[in-house]
A = this chain, B = another copy of it.
Amino acid sequence: MAQKIRVTVWNEFRHERENEKVKAIYPEGIHEAIASHLRKEPDFEVRTATLDEPEHGLSQSVVDQTDVLFWWGHGHHQAVSDEVVNRLQKAVLEGMGLVALHSAHYSKIFKRLMGTTCALKWREAGDNERIWVVEPGHPIAEGLPEAIELEEEEMYGERFDIPEPDTLVFISWFKGGEVFRSGCCYHRGKGKIFYFRPGHETHPTYHNPDIARVLVNSARWAARVNGPKITWDRVEPLESLG
């Protein structure tokens, strides 16, 4: 228990450099806004990585030292190399946690792990969003109110084309008439995946203290577990089948 949880926060980091509105909200980048909350936890060790670094900042060595990977991507999913996606899929199946944020529903790594299109409905119209907690005993709900209120967010609506979550923690309500499964937990291989919906780049969502709480909780939930080493080979019977 004394070991730290090693978190890597990944971000495309292009909107913030190209769009003045986004830059004004996240001057250091969305990854730094997310990392700033995680760094407050004494048991976390946090680093960041971005698309335009070599290997997108996700060399084998960085991945090997990551217990939970946060992923924020939006406009440049195709720019992520398949080599890195293969590396990440392997890492998740071997135990690395993945927290996929907002438009990461369309990232290569999330779609690869889900096996579905991950398509959804959407609208950029500043809908009011209420994120209702539907599983209040789940560790990701620790310290939250009954519903997280966001003044303005991009709308994502059902049908969200994902496998039914192992556990559904949040459902969002949008003023314009839609609902969305906003907090979805999955086991895949030895890894755990949490999809968390909010976080459009033109809204200050990652400055919200309840959202910060979810990020911290989800890192702790998704962190690597030192489970059994699995052997996949041909195996001998317990005793002669004679």
Contact = CB atoms under 8 A, between A and B. Distances in A.
Interface of A: 1, 43, 89, 93, 95, 112-117, 119-123, 125-128, 130, 132-139, 141-146, 155, 157-161, 163-164, 166-168, 171-179, 181, 186-192, 225-239, 241
Contacts of A172: 179
A159 B135 CA distance: 8
B122 A176 contact: no
Nearest to A144: B228
Contacts of A120: 232
Contact of A133 (B159, B171, B176, B187): B159
Given A127-B237, A133-B159, 6 more contacts: A120-B232, A121-B234, A138-B227, A161-B232, A166-B167, A173-B178
B232 A142 contact: no
B163 A136 contact: no
Given A161-B189, A237-B177, A225 B139 contact: yes
A8 to B, nearest CB: 18
Contacts of A130: 177-179, 238
A217 B165 CA distance: 23
A115 B188 contact: yes
B241 A127 contact: yes
Kindly list the 3 A-B residue pairs having the minimum CB-CB distance in the complex, ordered from nearest.
A176-B237, A177-B238, A136-B227
Nearest to A119: B232
B158 A190 contact: no
Contact of A123 (B117, B135, B161, B237): B237
24 contacts: A119-B232, A120-B232, A121-B234, A122-B235, A125-B241, A130-B238, A132-B157, A132-B179, A134-B159, A137-B225, A138-B227, A143-B227, A144-B227, A146-B229, A155-B237, A157-B235, A158-B171, A159-B228, A163-B166, A163-B187, A163-B188, A173-B173, A173-B179, A179-B179
A160 B174 CA distance: 19
Contact of A226 (B133, B143, B160): B143
Nearest to A159: B230
Contacts of A43: 1
A142 B163 CA distance: 19
A115 B121 CA distance: 23
